[in-house]
Structures are given as C-alpha cells and as structure tokens.
Amino acid sequence: MNFEIVMHSTKQDRDLQKLIKIVKKNYPKADSGLTKNAFLFAKKCHKGQLRESKKPFFVHPLQTAFILAELGADPETIAAALLHDVLEDTRAKPSELREKFGDAVLHLVEGVTKLTRMGHETRETKMTANLQNLLLATTKEPRVIVIKLADKLHNMRTLRFLPEPDRLRISDEVLEVYAPIALKLGIHALYNEMSDLAFKNLRPEIYSSLKGVVKRKGKARKAELNAMANAVRKRCKSKDLGFEVGEKTIYAIHSKMQKRGKGLDELPDFLFLKVIVPTAVDCYGLLGIVHSLFTPLPRKVRDYIALPQANLYQALHTTVIGPSGMPVDVRIATAEMQEITSKGIVAFWQLKSKGTDKLLHKNMALLAKVMGNGKMPKSRADFLNALKADFLTKTITVFTPEGESLEMPANSTPVDFAFEFDKKAAFRLWQAKVNGKFASLGRKLANGDIVELIFSSEVQAKDPWLKNAKSFSAKNAISSFLKRKKRPGQSLPSIDLNVEVTDRVGILAGVSRAISANGINIAAASVGDTPDAKAECRFNLGFSSAANLNNAIEEIKKVKGVKSVDIIYRE
C-alpha cells in the first residue's frame, strides 16, 4: 500500500503530527503512513459534517484516536478509530477501506459500525441488536470493543450538547453496560472517567454535593497522606520508591455509601496512598515497613498479587491508622502492575504481557459463551440478563480440593459451581462441602473458597435450584431441564438420610450395610463435618417402601457410634 502524502501546515496537520508522535513513542518501528492515510481519508469523508456542538464531525474520530493512542493502542487500532464512522455516516465503501488500509482495519471498522437496516424496530431493540453485533464482532477481534469504549468516552465528554432525554439514555447505557465492560477488561483509565461522567449526568445534585464535600475535606487529608509518605521514605532510605495520593471517583464513593447505607456526614475514605516499588518481592517488604510505622486494622490486608483479580488488577492493599487517628488505605504495586491496571487488555498489544494475554483469552471465551458462541440469545431480556449476570458482574476465584481454580461470578453458589465444573454431571449434584464442611447448595461462595461437589447416581435437580443458582447460564439450564423432567411418568429422587455419628473408622460402611440389607439403593453417600462441628453421614436413597425404610433406620441405630437419624423427604 502506498502512503505517500503531501502535507500542509494547518491546525489539523499539527494534530496529526501529535498523534503520530504518540503512536511512534509506543511503537517505534511502526510505519506512520498508516496513521497519516487514515487521518486524511477520514477527514475528507467527513468534510462538511458537523456535530451537535457545531464543531466539525472529524473532531470526534480524531479524539477517539487520541484516547486510544494515550492507552498505547497499536497503529491498526488507531487507524480504525479514525475511520470508525465512515461506513455508517459517509459514502465510503468497504471495498475502499480494504484497498487503502487492508482487511484487518476494515474488519475493525465493520465491527464498530452500527446495523443500518433494522426495519420498524423500536429504539431499545435497535440498541440491543447493535450491542449484540458489536460484542459478537468482539469475540473474534477484541480490539473492536476497545475502539467502541474510546468512542463512548469521547461522546460522554461532549454529551452536554444533546437534549436531556438523549443525555439520560446514553448515560444510563454507559453506566449499565459500557463502563462495566471497560472494568471487566481491566481498562480502569476508561472505566473511571466513563462511570463518573455518566453518574454526573444521571444524578447531578448528588454528584455536585459529593464533589463539594471531597474538595472541602481533601486538602487536610492529602497533607496527612503526604506526611505518611515522607515517614515511609525516611524509613526505607530508597530512591526507587514512588508515592502518589490517589483519589477515588465520585461514582465509586457514592456506590460505597449506598452499599454501606451511609450519608454525606459519614463519607467513606476517598483518598488512598499509593506506593510504587521496583519488584513484587519489594511489595511485601514495604508492607512490613508500613505496618511497623502505622497500626494495621485487623482483616484489612488484601493480597491481589498472589491472587490477582479477574481483570488482572494486582497490588497489596492494607488499611492502617494514620497520624490523625483515622483509617488510611495504602496500596503497594510495581510500575508494571500500575500500567496493566490502567490499560487492561490494551497493555497486551503494547507490553506483550502473558498475564494480559491470559485475561484476554479468558474473557473472550466467557463473552463467546454469553453470546451463545454465535447463536444470539432468543430475546432482548435474555441477552441483557446473561450479559450482566455472567460477564459484567465482579468475579471470585473458587478452588476444587485438587487445587484447580475456577473463576465464578460474585454471589455464586455451589449450584453455579457445579454447572461451571461439569455441566452434564451438575444435574446429579447432591451435596457440597465448602472449606471441608457441609454447606447449603444456596450458600454464597467467597473468594478463595474450596468447594467439594458430591454427586448422586440419580438426578437431583429440582425447583429450589432456580433460587440457589445466580448465573443466567445455570438458571437457564436448570429451567429447561425441569420442564422436560415434569412430563408424565417421570419423578425426582425422594429421600435423604442424615446420620449423626461419633466419627470412627468403618462408620460409613456399617451404616451402608444396614441400609442395603433392607433392599434400599444408595445413590450417593458422604461423611463430613457440619457447620456446628458435628460428624455426620449423609445418604441419598432411591425410592423405598415405608416398611423397608423403618427397618433400615432401626438397624442403623444399632450401629456403634450412631447418635441420631433424620429423614429428609425430597420433592
């Protein structure tokens, strides 16, 4: 492709040179011709078009490209950002883009382009269809969603020029969908600004009040954190440390207040001390120094280095008592951890990080699952529910007893875990142990829990599972299965037997013999501790006559070590 261009000295040419400078800084070996050609082609295509602000339309794709360049996006992504509206809003044809910029750039632009032939569909239906189209393209080429997020951010920056109904609709969409996508992909630089701008439009009075309180209290608080930084610097005597006073976004502060039921007079800590060290090992050493200088609060240390968050966020968090007697959040990380925290998956193309590579593939696989691997969910409601429940929600890491880790949506239960672990066997889930103790199938799992699943030889799925499951995929599978199982002539298992015992070798075998001797089939059995630290045998029994069951119970009571026998009749 030929990128020879004649340049003239104008403001927009200066913008082009600035853009090229940023791209070359991130990719020194890149051919700047691609950026120049995309710039001039898009500028020509949008000539005469104006935005609501009455500024030239080209300002929008240019600023979208600047946002991505500052994140460290690659030259093809920058070119596609400059061109992202030409197929939708100008007479440019896909064949022109293919000829001038190649297939890769064309596919990126097509992925971001909205569907145009939608008949007489409602606005909501069109929005959902466009989002589905965008995310389906993203599963094949992740850079598509990165361009769209930058596009949304610039639109949010200029939202004041739109009528109020449009401002509210777009802000709600950003806060509900696009900002959470940015957070899911670890691009905090986009998430923080998008969520704050959306919240400012949706709740201007609350935003203004919180902003005022933060500004009023911020000066004294910053002075305290700077004093703490000086104390740490003096103790370490190292020139390799970096200190920043970080400020939480207004939206983050409001969300925490809502979660804790606090008012403006009980504003949570909105500043934190950030310490940058050379290596991960140094993070742990500095944590010890911070704790030697300032009293740590119990159970407030979070190690996101050993166990990174799902969006690859890494740092050590601790809360200590500052000089004023108030709690202070301290975060310790390396420069590379900070880079990945800000850029998320965009860092993959710039840093070639193995961690971002892993995140990228994991999230694209999860998104593809939500999208039905190419088969769109049947309804708009199903699609949005699946997206929010199974992709956009925060996640936790849960382990099997063998040490295998599974990433699950927050608030997941053992039922969700079973469907993630083995979808076919999940319908036979009978009991679960969490951290070695029997737990309800509806128990909320926490980050780091070890979950042991105990399966029966018979189907166990029943109506209460729909309440126990939190993920959309699990609920959908259970609902479909139960509809089939409720046909005439089919039934579900009937009885569980709980036997409290004095734990000893052979107790399970002794009770099992008493059951089997009376002609009752044991579908599954397990021994474990209950939450109140009692030993217990649990049996899942096939259907039995009342006489056989009563005889079996009498035999069980004669087994040495048996304290009590309880029957649970299943639906």
- State pLDDT tens for residues 437-454: 889 899 999 988 999 999
Q: Could you give the 3-state DSSP secondary structure of residue 237?
A: coil
Torsion angle of C-alpha atoms 388, 393, 397, 401, degrees rounded to 10: -40
Q: CATH code at 171?
A: 1.10.3210.10
End-to-end Cα, the chain, rounded Å: 69
Evaluate whether residue 479 is within a structural domain.
no
pLDDT of residue 453: 94
Evaluate whether residue 413 is within a structural domain.
no
- Which residues have CB under 8 Å from 436's CB, separation 6+? 450, 452, 528, 529
Same domain, 120 and 163: yes
> Which of 15, 70, 76, 88 does the annotation list as catalytic?
88
Domain boundary among 319, 343, 367: 343
Tokens, residue 460: 């166990």
> Which of 13, 15, 52, 89 does the annotation list as catalytic?
89
Evaluate whether residue 471 is within a structural domain.
no
Evaluate whether residue 281 is within a structural domain.
yes
pLDDT of residue 219: 87
Residue 540: strand pairing partners: 496, 524
Same domain, 231 and 197: no
Neighbours of 335 (CB within 10 A): 12
Domain boundary among 173, 204, 235: 204
pLDDT of residue 294: 97
Nearest alpha-carbon partner for 380 in 120, 116, 127, 115: 127
Residues of the chain with pLDDT under 50: 1-9, 489-493
Residue 277 phi, psi (nearest 5): -120, 165
pLDDT of residue 2: 42
Q: Could you give the 3-state DSSP secondary structure of residue 421?
A: helix
Evaluate whether residue 368 is within a structural domain.
no
Residues 303, 261: Cα–Cα separation, whole Å: 27
Q: CATH code at 275?
A: 3.30.460.10
- Predicted TM-score (pTM) of the model is 0.81
Same domain, 126 and 259: no
Tell the residue number behind the tokens 């799902």, with chain if given.
Answer: 310
DSSP letter for 450, please. B
pLDDT of residue 5: 43
Evaluate whether residue 20 is within a structural domain.
yes
- Containing structural domain, residue 558: 495-569
Output the 3-class SS for 497-564: EEEEECCCCCHHHHHHHHHHCCCCCEEEEEEEECCCCCEEEEEEECCCCHHHHHHHHHHHHCCCCEEE
Q: Catalytic residue at 357?
A: no
Residue 534 phi, psi (nearest 5): -95, 150
Tell the residue number behind the tokens 């004649």, with chain if given.
Answer: 6
CA 115 to chain centre: 27
Q: Catalytic residue at 303?
A: no
pLDDT digits (tens, 9 = 90+) for 65-97: 999 999 999 999 999 999 999 999 999 999 999
Evaluate whether residue 416 is within a structural domain.
no
Counted domains in the chain: 3
Tokens, residue 468: 């126990």
Measure Cα distances from 269 to 219, 319, 525 in Å. Answer: 13, 11, 50
Phi-psi region at 102: left, alpha or beta (left = phi > 0; alpha = psi -120 to 50):
left
User: Is 405 in contact with 398 (CB distance < 8 Å)?
Assistant: yes
pLDDT of residue 205: 95
Domain boundary among 291, 322, 343: 343
Regarding beta strands 271-277 and 327-334, do their DSSP bridges make them parallel or antiparallel, or are they unpaired? parallel
Residues 267, 258: Cα–Cα separation, whole Å: 11
Regarding beta strands 437-439 and 429-434, do their DSSP bridges make them parallel or antiparallel, or are they unpaired? antiparallel
Residues 571, 567: Cα–Cα separation, whole Å: 13
Angle between helices 250-260 and 204-236 (to 10 degrees): 100
